[in-house]
Structure 1
Amino acid sequence: MCVLALAARPVLAQGGAISGKVSTEGGTPIREVRVLAISASGQTAASVLSREDGTYRISNVSAGTYAVVARRIGFSEERRDGVVVSDGGTATVDFTMKEVATQLNPVVTTASRRPEKALDAPASVSVVDVREIQERPSVTVADHVRGVPGIDVNQGGIAQANVVARGFNNAFSGSILMLQDYRFAGVPSLRVNVPFLMTGVNEDVERVEVLLGPASALYGPNSANGVLHVITKSPFESQGTTLTVDGGERSLMRGSIRHAGVLGSKVGYKLSGEYFTATDWHSASARDTLGNILPNYDPGEPDVFPPQAPGGRAGKPNIRDFDLRKFTSEARVDVRPNENSEFVSTVGYSKVGSGLELTGANGTAQIKNWTYLSLQQRARVGRLFGQVFANLSDAGNDDSLSTSGTYLLRSGQPIVDQSRVFAAQLQHGLSLGSRQDFVYGMDWIKTNPRTGGTINGRNEGIDDVTEYGGYVQSTSNLTRNFDLIAALRIDHNSLIEGYQTSPRVALVFKPSETQNFRVTYNRAFSTPANFSYFLDLIQARNIGNSGYNIRAHGNPPKEGWGFNRSCGTANGGLCMKSRFTGGNNWVPSSAAGVYKGVIAGLRPNLVALLTPSLGATLANSLVNGLGNVQPTDAQVGTRIAYLNQATDPSKDIQGGNLADIGPLDASYNKTYELGYKGIIANKLRLAIDGWIQKRGDVGNPAGLATPNVFFNGPQLGSYLGQQIVQILMGAGMPQAQALAAAQQIAPQIATAAASLPLGIVQFNNDTFANGTDVYATYTSTSNQEITVKGVDMAVDYVANDYVTLAGTYSWVSDLVFRDIASSNTAPLMLNAPDGKASLTVKFRDEPNKYGIELRWRYMSSYPVNSGVYASGVDANGHAIRFQRPGSTAYYIYDGVPANNLFDIGFNYRLPFGSQELLWSVNGTNVLDSKVRTFPGSPEIGRMVVTRLQYSF
């Protein structure tokens, strides 16, 4: 019996084992790694340390299902769930562990258009990794980069946002080059970044790379201010299905699905789709000139759509739709014939059923049924990379009478945008030995706007643009510690004379693998967007009941705008078009030619004004008499002023000072940067960048450019007084009585007539010049330059396996650049804070499968000048104000106040079957501080969103 009992004992206690090997990504064994087997109840069943060769074996493990965890200081924790141990069996679990330094030093591709460690990149690069993206519920990519140093996000609502690097934000901004898997992600001809229109789903994003500073040497036009690159997952490395449901405040609901798989060993595929809905914030008020809050959503929008709006909209109440709706999907197939070749085909589609988007020239657009389609084919064979892609946009309208799509809330005018961009890119790399490497390539871009006579109006059909260029970058290992990077790019734009060159030089000093000092110089360029040349769009009708419209128009390529100066001597010979002259002919900008027409136009009002004091008969006789005389230029002069400044004589324009507007040209930014990136003690990452920029890219949104002509009020009053005395005396009134009547009547008539625009000093272009459209246009700034300085800092500290601390700080030297006046006479502004900071504490308890994130964000106050959205004071120190449509009243936008915001995030991974269910909650601005980040935008409050996500 004892023998039988002794023999049975090992059988009863046998259980099973878990064994394997722990190594680095390069295959180096890691010793003294603590490997734990954790039971379903969360208890540690057994643990061992790995041996010198990295192997380990956990014996005598009871049969069951376990989570196996590998931990070692200096390395990221690794976990394998669902490990099944059977009696007498051995489960094999190998671990590849990443050093913490690898977490702090990820691989990036944006800085040099090839894979490299972030520390090796000769530029400032930040990365938002897949875990942050997965655990933080978000609406657009803008939500993920809000805490990145040097990045400014002006949030216009739940989904609307403008993202730029190092300031100079604008409504309808395309300042930063936004890419998605190496293809452009902006709206084709408008060249605006609308994150809400991007295709694909959040769950498919692998990482977001942000490159601060100029990048034209490699990326060409329109990357002078940085690159934001969204990189999605490969189906080969992300097989399975992910289901996600988000819900939150403002009636937010979002559902998405992503599936990736393989067919054999050489073909991978993925499919994704998402539907999103929410209700945006409503308040978007401004103030009148007395400081009273105006309750309308935007006082620049009429209460009722004007008669010129399409039939289904004209005369109806102008009511914003604050509901947000979006559907998006994407499909991709990857083919890998061998380890050195890859062919990727992608099609993406998104449709915004309803939304709001600010534009600098025309106020807010009500987005309706705007679709975006992207087609891409890219290939990689060794170091040869090539791609072709097409982006197609459709704003939802077929023509200028359609009411089913996107339209402008200030005019009711539908937007037809069926624009397309086609691009082809080729790149190759070549190494000469181990110390010299070249990357070179070429790009071709064709933009084809199709706006149905709306956005580009009368310019439709002559508005295509072609761009092409080539580049080469050399990386030379001068010594063991010094690298020299030099690049040169040459580009041509069919709308601009000549060629654009972009040199880049960087000297990098690396005393060790984890320390990097660099000094760089970049000369980068930007070309004006297509609409800057060809826009032709009514911005506001019958402004202030004046009978005049504001029309935004582009600056003709290679020509610019000139004024007609062939009309006599008044105001330097400036000619005008006037609706009081009975035709569309050029006339002098003097009083003599339009006086009689003005009196005739005012006749009913003048008779009504004078009848109570003079009687109907005498009032009619007096008005008739005033209409039969004509002053000379010496008796009554004129003044020239922009329509929104007409009541302030100090802002009058002398005729000789009204300069022609030159053609738009490429603008250049020259940037000098000194930077440090390093990892200290394998736990602390520090990045500091100091930069000075000579910025020629100071172009401004469209501002008023064709001023109006007005009577000289005092001279007109004096002239009218003399004429009134003579007319009344001729009608039999005694001289004394006539003089008294004239003193009372003349100022009333003069005030009414002097406030009425007599005409418009128009551009010398018979196609566009008329007597009713006041033009706003884009001005050339190629001969202007500003100097701006800044600092960007980022710190990440991995305290232990549980706690990570992060901080950012950015500073820019100037908010207002008074030497550069935009065409609305207000100075150029940064349109972003000159100081911002953030602190983040992340706690992750991997054994217990939960994490907490706390974040503080600070932003200093700042004024804004972005077309029709401007705050602060103009070049003369006067408050920037705008006239309400259909009214003589004015309104003022407030600047953006300083704010401190607090965010909280929580995530927990619950066991669910053989997998895990991710539950996360993210609250932004949890103290509900009402903050407006741009004039015309609503005050943004607290937003709490929760997520349930299951992958299998």
Structure 2
Amino acid sequence: MNARVSLTPFVPPWLAALVLLLWMAGAPDIAYAQQTGIEGMVRDADDRSPLVGANIAVRAEGSPDIVRGTATNPDGTYSISGIDPGRYLVEFRFVGYQSQELPVTVEEGEMAELAVALKIQTASLDQVVVSASRRQEKILDAPASISVLQPDEIEATVSTSSVEVLRATPGVDMAQTGIDRREVVLRGFNEAFSGSAFVLTDYRQASVPSLGVNVHSIMPNMTVDVERVEVVRGPGSALYGPGVDSGVIHYFTKDPFNYPGTTVAVSGGSRQFFGGQFRHAGTFSDNWGYKVTGQYARAEDWELDINDRPDSLEISRYRVYQDLDDPALEGRSFDRIDTDGDGQADAARLRREDIYSKVNVNGLLQYQPGDNTTISLNGGYAELTGAVQSGIGTLQAEGFGYYYGQLRVQSGGLFAQSYINVNDGGPDTYVYGGGNLVRDQSVQYNNQIQYDFSASSISTQVIIGADSDITVPRTNSQIVGRNEDDDLIQEYGAYTQTTTDLSEKFALTLAARADYNNVVEEVQLSPRVALVYKATPTNTLRGSYNRSFSSPGTNSLFLDVEAQRQPLPGGFDLVFRGLGAADGYTFDNFRQSNEIKYSFPVQGFFGLNLDVNNLPLLPYYAAVAQGSLNPQTGQFTQGVQQQLSGAGLTSQQIGLLGSLFGYMAQEPNRLGFFGGRTVNENGEAVVFGIPDASAQGYSVVDGPVDIAPIEQTTTQTFEVGYKGIVSDRLIVQIDGYYETKKDFVGPLVIESPLAYLQAQGLTADVAGELDEIFGTTSDGTVQSLLNDLANSGLAPGDVADLLGGVVGNGLGDTPTGIIQPDQEVLPGGGAGNEVGGFLSYRNFGEVSYYGTDISVTLQATDAFAIFANTSFLSDDFFDNEELDETNTSLSLALNAPAFKFKSGFDYRFDNGFSFGMTGNYVEGFPVETGPYVGSVDSYFLLDARMGYKVQSIPGLRVDVTGKNILNNEHREFAGAPELGLAVFGRMQYSF
């Protein structure tokens, strides 16, 4: 294994020193008092509350240059002094609000009064965002495609998870796989245990560490506390680093200074759902604020139906215990089953748990020593219990969760933070397929520093920054197994971005980032170029180029877990392990010796009866599996003896034939009677050890294809877009993009090559080969057995016919053994009673495709809005030719629809009542991710929502959401249960 740098993660001294310096300074950015300037207050236009931290920029009339700037105090006031007398334009900006620009005249020796009330507009391109460029800017000016969801939209939807509010957002692909579990990505390429979308909560990456999976259920993004959600579509590695090749979802929670008070919400509805949320925020003084939030929810999950074929395939993966008293069944839900058809339960199958629950608590302490400085310290813990799909099969999560801590500093253009995410896999979480416990206490350490400043002489805004991300897997050897002490992942990056106003209408953004990964041991460059043309103050055109990349995760690199264990006749266990490919796998030893290390007797793999996975075996084992041979006595069963006797065999001949079967069981390294074969990278049969194999139509090559060390996936994206407001009421966004992805990290698939009997089968045509193989052996036992067979009147051709009759036709097309790589697959080299192979990951393919996102919103009146959006991708499945791969077994699924359409409306009455509906059409698509292979049929969902703000009781509101009100039973992902109608209600009170 490669040598890898090991650093002890820590909170960097620079951040501790910076916090101490700002603390001691008290108010480092307060300007000296002067007699000439501007002062006033910034408020929320609706409830008149002060807006803390709103940005104020002063420009001389007729000039684009900023003269002075500041931010509002905790009481919403501001003061800018030291300004020369004259006429100025003052711009007020606050994230999530519509900005305003007002003129003012400053007289000598006077402080001009200028107050403003900023208004939130749900449908507006004049809002201020930060996620596209990691600094404040208007949506219209952002060099990326972006949507913003405001509090009114978030509160209008009642669901088991706040992430449901994103379903109608352009470019978002959402697959619900349980009552509270949703896989969410941007612009396709979804998967089980999805982590491709870069999800942030208050600037902190919110995914589960090490696994890199987005478990929205346990993120601290509660409806009562979310201020807004920014969704950036398209790559963002130039600023954010690895893993941001499809977009960013950024949750911003409510600040205690801006949103003091207490909110309590209680929800309930279908599937016995009950939930509660709590938020309390306030201030200790003008400088200190705090916030506490929490939630609890419980529901009955959607169930699998054994009589439904897709569900039955999923249920068949769940482990079967042959011993009803197996200690592993204690405390687990299981069904008694009859495996031998005698009407009596003789085994137990794990049963999917139907109860889902979660809990979440969070706290924030905030300090504001000056007008433009904020220091935040926050942390929290969350956990869930329920069935969760993953890359190695469905997990029964028991107390699965994580906790985090974050220290963040913002002062003027300076931003710095350190945070830690710690996974807690729970003490009893296990995989249904193998029944094994899965424990994970992995840790992620992240440090960032960024500075944003203006180079006004060249009309340029500049961002420079650096960060580090260190992942320490801790799985008690249950996920990364033998790699537990050699699996540290360290990534370091530095970046810069400039945005230059080339003229009043053109702005050019240039960005570049370099990242180093200690496992891949490469430096990746992520450039970004974007040109924004502001045709009018409310209409912009954009063109951009981005190169982004994703680093392989812990599983792809270091996975070492038992994926499947199945008992075999004769006391053996067939074991397949899932293995990461940090250093790859080779088959040099096999190419030199043609030795097959493991032979095995089992029908079916993962409970599937697919041709590609069907594994019967040496004739002896096949006979045992089909009930022809008793493995304890080594004799044919009575029925087979009668069959052979009826064919004219004497008892001596029958006994000799049974001995031949027994001999084959004692020779695990033989290739069977007729040599062996695998499948080469072109999907053609490849034969080892057969004379004249090429003349029989087989390819003869050096051996199996090696697995190269896993590498990073790169994406190049060209994008054009339009954002505009037409006639003050119609908002249009159109984005088109063309992407090329290279070196995908494929799903976990079987990589052990399999040895086969000759494909022609067991017929008299191969009698000559049988005679040649056994006639030239030097093994006296075999020779003696063959001599006895010949003396009894059974020629080699007769033996071949009998083998085919006893075992069954087509045996030549089934495997007899597993070819092993040079690296050790099973712990201990498979000593004892274990035989097996492995599943792993490969980089493969290069594919290009194109897509569009179109969104239209009509604000017909101040109370009535209609929206519609659609997304299209040129393909949802890429075969080996499209991937530029010769191996026909390689393919890639989008795991998301190539076409989807969403539309709806919202109406708000003056009396506090609101009503809305949303229709969502999803075109069917194929799924290939881990063990989940299948397809999703097209479906249409109609949702309705109603809300009422009780005017007689300020702060009280009631909301009801009907999900899938047409009760269209549908499935949103392979392996997931069918979903139907669900109705949820919520009562919320703020005071």
TM-score normalised per structure 2: 0.76
**1:299 maps to which residue?**
316
Deviation at 1:799, TM superposition (A): 0.4
Q: Deviations over 1:309-363 (max 9, x none)?
A: 84747975401111111111111011111111000111111121x1121112x21
Q: Which amino acid aligns with 2:905?
A: V
2:654 paired residue among 607, 616, 619? 619
1:577 paired residue among 587, 594, 597? 597
**1:514 maps to which residue?**
538
Pairing 1:799–2:837 present: no
Pairing 1:779–2:842 present: yes
1:789 paired residue among 834, 850, 856? 850
Q: Which amino acid aligns with 1:607?
A: F
Worse overlay, 245-254 or 741-750: 741-750
Structure 2 vs 1, CA of residues 747 and 231 (structure 1 numbering), >3 Å: closer, same or farther? same
**1:917 maps to which residue?**
956
**2:502 maps to which residue?**
478
Cα contact 1:517–1:676 (8 A) shared by 2: yes
**2:940 maps to which residue?**
900
Pairing 1:170–2:202 present: no
1:358 paired residue among 389, 408, 413? 389
Structure 2 vs 1, CA of residues 657 and 628 (structure 1 numbering), >3 Å: closer, same or farther? closer
Cα contact 1:177–1:222 (8 A) shared by 2: yes
Aligned residue runs from structure 1 range 734-749, under 5 A: 743-744=801-802, 746-749=804-807
Secondary structure, aligned partner of 1:393: strand
Pairing 1:371–2:401 present: yes
**1:840 maps to which residue?**
904
Q: Which amino acid aligns with 1:932?
A: R
Q: Which amino acid aligns with 1:476?
A: T
Deviation at 1:731, TM superposition (A): 7.1
Q: Deviations over 1:248-287 (max 9, x none)?
A: 1000111111111111211111111111000111026697
Pairing 1:135–2:156 present: yes
Cα contact 1:450–1:460 (8 A) shared by 2: yes
Cα contact 2:678–2:686 (8 A) shared by 1: no
**1:38 maps to which residue?**
none
Q: Which amino acid aligns with 2:263?
A: T
Q: Give distance in 2, aligned partners of 1:652 and 1:285.
A: 42
**2:748 maps to which residue?**
702
Q: Which amino acid aligns with 2:917?
A: L
2:912 paired residue among 842, 845, 849? 849
Q: Give distance in 1, aligned partners of 2:445 and 2:697.
A: 46
Cα contact 1:187–1:194 (8 A) shared by 2: yes
Q: Deviations over 1:718-767 (max 9, x none)?
A: 45797799989957998599987974554324759757743211111136
Cα contact 2:936–2:974 (8 A) shared by 1: yes
Pairing 1:261–2:294 present: no
Q: Give distance in 1, aligned partners of 2:424 and 2:148.
A: 32
Cα contact 1:729–1:738 (8 A) shared by 2: no
Structure 1 runs not aligned, ≥5 long:
1-24, 36-75, 78-93, 398-404, 582-592, 872-894
Worse overlay, 221-230 or 131-140: 131-140
**1:586 maps to which residue?**
none
Q: How many residues align?
A: 812
Secondary structure, aligned partner of 1:447: strand
**1:813 maps to which residue?**
874
Q: Which amino acid aligns with 2:597?
A: K
Q: Give distance in 2, aligned partners of 1:268 and 1:931.
A: 47
1:389 paired residue among 387, 407, 419? 419
Pairing 1:185–2:213 present: no
Cα contact 1:610–1:619 (8 A) shared by 2: no
Aligned residue runs from structure 1 range 334-733, under 5 A: 334-352=366-384, 354-360=385-391, 362-397=392-427, 405-433=428-456, 435-542=459-566, 549=574, 551-557=576-582, 559-566=583-590, 574-579=594-599, 604=631, 607-608=636-637, 610-612=640-642, 613-614=644-645, 617-624=652-659, 636-640=674-678, 655-656=701-702, 658-696=704-742, 698-712=744-758, 714=760, 716-718=762-764
Cα contact 2:677–2:686 (8 A) shared by 1: no
Secondary structure, aligned partner of 1:772: strand
Worse overlay, 614-623 or 417-426: 614-623
Secondary structure, aligned partner of 1:367: strand
Deviation at 1:150, TM superposition (A): 0.8
Worse overlay, 419-428 or 299-308: 299-308
Secondary structure, aligned partner of 2:588: coil
Q: Give distance in 1, aligned partners of 2:898 and 2:412.
A: 45
Q: Give distance in 2, aligned partners of 1:544 and 1:211.
A: 52
Worse overlay, 177-186 or 818-827: 818-827
Structure 2 vs 1, CA of residues 740 and 456 (structure 1 numbering), >3 Å: closer, same or farther? closer
Pairing 1:760–2:818 present: yes
Q: Which amino acid aligns with 1:640?
A: T
Secondary structure, aligned partner of 2:659: helix
**1:587 maps to which residue?**
none
Identity, in percent, stands at 31
**2:61 maps to which residue?**
none
Q: Deviations over 1:475-503 (max 9, x none)?
A: 11111110000000000011012201100
Q: Deviations over 1:383-425 (max 9, x none)?
A: 101000001111112xxxxxxx211011111111000101100
Cα contact 2:194–2:213 (8 A) shared by 1: yes
Aligned residue runs from structure 1 range 106-255, under 5 A: 106-255=127-276
Cα contact 1:507–1:519 (8 A) shared by 2: yes
Q: Which amino acid aligns with 1:377?
A: L
Structure 2 vs 1, CA of residues 544 and 479 (structure 1 numbering), >3 Å: closer, same or farther? farther
Cα contact 2:962–2:984 (8 A) shared by 1: yes
Worse overlay, 730-739 or 140-149: 730-739
Let me know the Cα RMSD of the aligned residues: 3.8
Structure 2 vs 1, CA of residues 239 and 393 (structure 1 numbering), >3 Å: closer, same or farther? same
Cα contact 1:678–1:685 (8 A) shared by 2: yes
Structure 2 vs 1, CA of residues 675 and 359 (structure 1 numbering), >3 Å: closer, same or farther? same
Structure 2 vs 1, CA of residues 189 and 635 (structure 1 numbering), >3 Å: closer, same or farther? closer
Q: Which amino acid aligns with 2:389?
A: L
Structure 2 vs 1, CA of residues 28 and 469 (structure 1 numbering), >3 Å: closer, same or farther? closer
Q: Give distance in 2, aligned partners of 1:202 and 1:647.
A: 57
Q: Which amino acid aligns with 2:871?
A: S
Secondary structure, aligned partner of 1:848: coil
Q: Deviations over 1:427-448 (max 9, x none)?
A: 0012111611101101111101
Structure 2 runs not aligned, ≥5 long:
1-39, 49-96, 99-114, 333-346, 602-616, 688-695, 776-783
Structure 2 vs 1, CA of residues 616 and 911 (structure 1 numbering), >3 Å: closer, same or farther? farther
Cα contact 1:201–1:329 (8 A) shared by 2: no
Q: Give distance in 1, aligned partners of 2:399 and 2:794.
A: 71
**1:40 maps to which residue?**
none
Q: Give distance in 2, aligned partners of 1:716 and 1:923.
A: 62
Structure 2 vs 1, CA of residues 543 and 669 (structure 1 numbering), >3 Å: closer, same or farther? farther
Cα contact 2:947–2:959 (8 A) shared by 1: yes
Secondary structure, aligned partner of 1:458: helix
Worse overlay, 808-817 or 617-626: 617-626
Q: Which amino acid aligns with 2:167?
A: R
Q: Which amino acid aligns with 1:678?
A: G
Q: Deviations over 1:188-238 (max 9, x none)?
A: 011111111213522100111111110000000111111111110101111
Cα contact 2:722–2:734 (8 A) shared by 1: yes
Q: Give distance in 2, aligned partners of 1:554 and 1:740.
A: 44
Structure 2 vs 1, CA of residues 648 and 655 (structure 1 numbering), >3 Å: closer, same or farther? closer
TM-score normalised per structure 1: 0.79
Q: Give distance in 1, aligned partners of 2:620 and 2:588.
A: 23
Deviation at 1:575, TM superposition (A): 3.6
Cα contact 2:671–2:816 (8 A) shared by 1: no
Q: Give distance in 1, aligned partners of 2:877 and 2:352.
A: 33
Pairing 1:319–2:348 present: no
Structure 2 vs 1, CA of residues 599 and 511 (structure 1 numbering), >3 Å: closer, same or farther? closer
Cα contact 1:200–1:348 (8 A) shared by 2: no
Q: Give distance in 1, aligned partners of 2:173 and 2:715.
A: 19
